[in-house]
Amino acid sequence: MNARTFITLFLCTALTMLQSCKSGQSNDIVAENFNFAAQQLQYAIDLTTEAISKDTRDSARRASRPLVSPRTLEKDGSLKVVTAHDWTSGFFPGELWFMYEMTNDPAWEERARKFTEPLQVLRYHTGTHDLGFMMYNSFGNGLRLTGDQEYREILLDAARSLATRYKPGAKIIRSWDHNGDKWQCPVIIDNMMNLELLFWAFRESNDSTFYQIAVNHANSTIKNHFRPDYGTYHVVDYDTITGEVLNRHTHQGYAHESTWSRGEAWALYGFTLMYRETGDQLYLDQANHIADFIFSHPRLPDDLIPYWDFDAPEIPDEPRDVSAAAIIASALYELSGYNVEDAGLYRQWADTILENLTSSYRAAPGADGGFLLLHSTGAKSLNSEIDVPLVYADYYFLEALLRKSKIEHNQPLF
């Protein structure tokens, strides 16, 4: 009996025994975390507003690229606030939209609009692949919850800007423009997350170009980003004319042949949304295989919060990556709606992650910069953001909690 079969049988028994009390416990964990988030996010707003008012950059820089939202804590414990052009800028307004979704309190809508508005300068920005993170998590959630048609137009412009990065010869969307001495046309596994904006634009505009770009990129990713065991490469470098793979590297993981945990999380989430948007069994199979890789991996800790890289050399004395765990949990709740056979198992894994994040990885109330979760790792390989709170961990934590609540109340996720 392999590990996954054993876990499945064990959890099926456990789920039956726990069914009578599960609902009350689930409601408690969602409500309690959103109550906690309400306090923390208000504190974060206060700290961010103060940091913006004390911005010491020169006046021209402040005017051209003002600070807009928090990203993490600096090494001295101060809040790191970033401009709209930082790839993480859309997560904090997204969290505020989630608060509005959960509470229906107009005060949260007002706060969300305030922190979303500065990002509209990105609508014509073609210098990044991260417009999905930046714009769909902010304006996209706002449109979904309010129907604001101005947000719709901004998002369509952003989708058109993202589409300019498509390379038809290689059938991929270019990720970075930096490190030209190392890569000709790098594509990172993270880029799967930005396809959601293109699918939305296809539905809104009926322009099939958006759909085809997203599908082509996903198919190229399946072909070139995965090893036989469904572990992922972080960076694949392409010849833009022929589509030939020039290199398979890492940038934020431990080694070229290691599996960076957050990259694997992006892959799980990305191919789950690909199935949602296309109904193609290829993508559902891929998502299931990725889930199998994660949860059958011998170096996944018992609490299901991954180390920053599955192959990091000093495990168990390596930093965790809470952001990867939150992304995985959110993806699993959605994936459970598509894979009937493993639905209970996927939800139990996601529930376990949320329970452990809540009990062992949460920030102190009224402290830690107003972040919700501690112990994320941005890029240990670059000596950057090691064992810190990260705004995107908090975003996917709240999204996972919302999805859990919707499933348990028989509400649609979308």
How many CB atoms lie under 10 A from the CB of residue 401? 27
Q: Phi/psi zone of residue 279: left (φ > 0), alpha (ψ -120 to 50 degrees), beta?
A: left
To the query of whether residue 157 is one of the catalytic residues in this protein, the response is no
Assigned token pair, 373: 């979760």
Q: Count CB-CB contacts under 10 A for residue 247.
A: 14
Catalytic residue selected from 28, 46, 58, 190? 190
Distance (Å, whole) CA 213 – CA 198 = 8
What would the two tokens of residue 106 be? Answer: 């107009």
CA distance 46 to 256: 41
Structure-token pair, residue 332: 């699993």
Is 55 among the residues known to form the active site? no
Contact (Cβ atoms closer than 8 angstroms) between residue 334 and residue 271: no
CB atoms closer than 10 angstroms to residue 152: 17
Q: Which of 86, 130, 311, 351 is catalytic?
A: 130
Positions annotated as catalytic residues are 130, 190
